[in-house]
Chain A
């Protein structure tokens, strides 16, 4: 079946540095990718929706200059956390779909845990 791979699965960085997280669809072309953030014992919160070849659409309250999303190809989307701070520490999850974002064709990655010291 469809597989979405995230890399790295775990990253620690110093405050003020930038971190890039990759989300790849391994055996299908994903026209739409979603990025979520999950705090401990809380829901997954949608951060942004990215469509290949166009700018990402960010949810209200998400700083687009801090969380840069690039969807340069049909198999790769990246999330860059710029000038990371400890409050950005979280679990970031991506999902991908072909065509319209119907949940029954969404495939999720295993997530990337970011710890900012």
Chain B
């Protein structure tokens, strides 16, 4: 079945460092891909999405490009802030419109 694999955390960075969180997927067809973020004590929030190959989703300085050839959707940000500390989930939507999540990656940004 469809699945999502993302790098294990925690990822610890200093403020203004470059961030990459890897995400790869296995799916039949061409699913839509998503990144969600969960801040402490809050629900998951959609961060960005891409619906077809080569699409780039972006929001709040975060970007991810839908790479069909490598089945990847890596999350990047050029300069992280302390306020970006959260858990990030990569997900795909399968043919039944169900979300399949990766295991989540905790990001900790130090001042």
Point out the residues of chain A lying under 8 angstroms from B89, CB to CB: 43-44
C-alpha gap A108/B87 in the complex (Å)? 14
Point out the residues of chain A lying under 8 angstroms from B49, CB to CB: 103-104
Name the interface size band of chain A: 20 to 34
Point out the residues of chain B lying under 8 angstroms from A98, CB to CB: none
Instruction: List which A1-55 residues lie within 8 A (CB) of chain B.
Output: 4, 6, 34, 41-46, 49
Instruction: Label chain B's interface by main secondary structure.
Output: strand
- Total number of B residues with any Cβ neighbor in A under 8 Å: 22
Whether A102 and B97, one on each chain, are in contact in the complex, defined by CB atoms closer than 8 angstroms, is yes
Whether A43 and B4, one on each chain, are in contact in the complex, defined by CB atoms closer than 8 angstroms, is yes
Instruction: List which B8-22 residues lie within 8 A (CB) of chain A.
Output: none
Judge if B101 is at the interface, Cβ distance under 8 Å.
yes
Instruction: List which B62-100 residues lie within 8 A (CB) of chain A.
Output: 89, 91, 93, 97-100
Point out the residues of chain B lying under 8 angstroms from A42, CB to CB: 103
The verdict on A43 contacting B43 (CB below 8 Å), with A103-B91, A104-B49 known, is no
C-alpha gap A34/B101 in the complex (Å)? 14
Whether A4 and B43, one on each chain, are in contact in the complex, defined by CB atoms closer than 8 angstroms, is yes
Judge if B32 is at the interface, Cβ distance under 8 Å.
yes
Point out the residues of chain A lying under 8 angstroms from B98, CB to CB: 46, 49, 101
- Measured CB to CB, the residues of A under 8 A from B are 4, 6, 34, 41-46, 49, 93, 95, 100-104, 106-111
